[in-house]
């Protein structure tokens, strides 16, 4: 059974002025997302600045989110690392904290071989019982999960059940779905490719855009899954300017700026990320106004 269908939000981690995690604000964001129809909360992913959270913060944010959501929608915890041992530790702690699934990004910087990826993911999966979503985003990690690797893992490791595909390579995604032969659920990791990935058998998206437009992204996927492909495709095309604006600087710089423009007061970013350039913020503001979310 799929972890979720629809639009899951890759939620930001709000910060106080002193740089600490703002749990009160996180609670507000979670409630806004659920009220907006978001189908899953993905906590402590790239958008959640997981790379600059301490292990203690990382686990506490997952625990807080799981408790606040209280099973209303699935909570998927980002627990990937370029250290297999660290990923196992974070995954086990996320399981204890009440997460419903795990999102495991490929090892970054050390760039594992395909054989290494199989060993890495198998070791983590064997250490937990939660269902696992592989996360393929080679533009950030320098490491690509080949279709045959993902298919092998899906067919040979019971709790590896899905993949978030953010390679941007539709041909690779098609080959993956061919080789997986129904053994792997597919989620888009790119907001500008949701409908194309749904057309290849995808179940939804793990979305950055959902932070600022949860109902829109939920409705876009739902319409496709209910058979109204034409309406869904139009929504995909209409949201492209907002997608471009939210990725004109490295994620999550623009999406935090967008939430702050909406008055959500999610705070700033942890170094080495910096605030959005003024000219890009103007582009984002225009795109949000055009979508009537500002």
Catalytic residue numbers, as ranges: 135, 164
Distance CA 185, CA 162 (A): 4
Q: Is 268 exposed, middle or buried (0-12, 13-18, 19+ CB in 10 A)?
A: middle
Q: How is residue 292 written in tokens?
A: 């009537």
Beta bridge partners of 76: 42, 101
What is d(CA 271, CA 61) in angstroms, rounded to the nearest whole number?
Answer: 19
Distances (CA, A) of 130 to 23, 149, 267: 25, 20, 32
């Amino acid at each position: 059974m799929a972890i979720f269908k629809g639009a899951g939000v890759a939620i930001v981690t709000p910060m106080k002025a002193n740089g600490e995690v703002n749990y009160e604000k996180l609670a507000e964001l979670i409630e806004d997302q659920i009220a907006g129809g978001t189908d899953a909360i993905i906590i402590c992913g790239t958008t959640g600045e997981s790379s600059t959270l301490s292990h203690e913060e990382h686990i506490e944010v997952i625990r807080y989110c799981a408790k606040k959501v209280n099973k209303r929608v699935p909570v998927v915890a980002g627990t990937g690392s370029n250290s297999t041992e660290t990923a196992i530790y974070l995954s086990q702690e996320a399981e204890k904290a009440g997460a419903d699934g795990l999102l495991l990004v490929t090892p970054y910087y050390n760039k594992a071989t395909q054989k290494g990826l199989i060993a890495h993911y198998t070791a983590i999966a064997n250490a937990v019982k939660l269902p696992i979503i592989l996360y393929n985003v080679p533009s950030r990690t320098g490491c690509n999960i080949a279709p045959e690797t993902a298919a092998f893992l899906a067919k040979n490791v019971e709790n590896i059940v899905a993949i978030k595909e953010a390679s941007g390579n539709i041909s690779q995604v098609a080959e993956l779905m061919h080789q997986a032969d129904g053994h792997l659920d597919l989620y888009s990791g790119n907001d500008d490719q949701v409908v194309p990935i749904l057309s290849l058998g995808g179940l939804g998206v793990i979305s950055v855009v959902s932070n600022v437009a949860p109902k829109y992204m939920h409705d876009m996927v739902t319409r496709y899954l209910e058979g109204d492909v034409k309406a869904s495709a139009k929504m995909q095309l209409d949201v492209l300017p907002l997608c471009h604006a939210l990725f004109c600087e490295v994620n999550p710089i623009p999406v935090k700026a967008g939430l702050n423009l909406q008055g959500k007061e999610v705070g700033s970013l942890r170094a080495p990320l910096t605030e959005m350039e003024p000219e890009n913020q103007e582009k984002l503001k225009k795109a949000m106004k055009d979508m009537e979310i500002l």
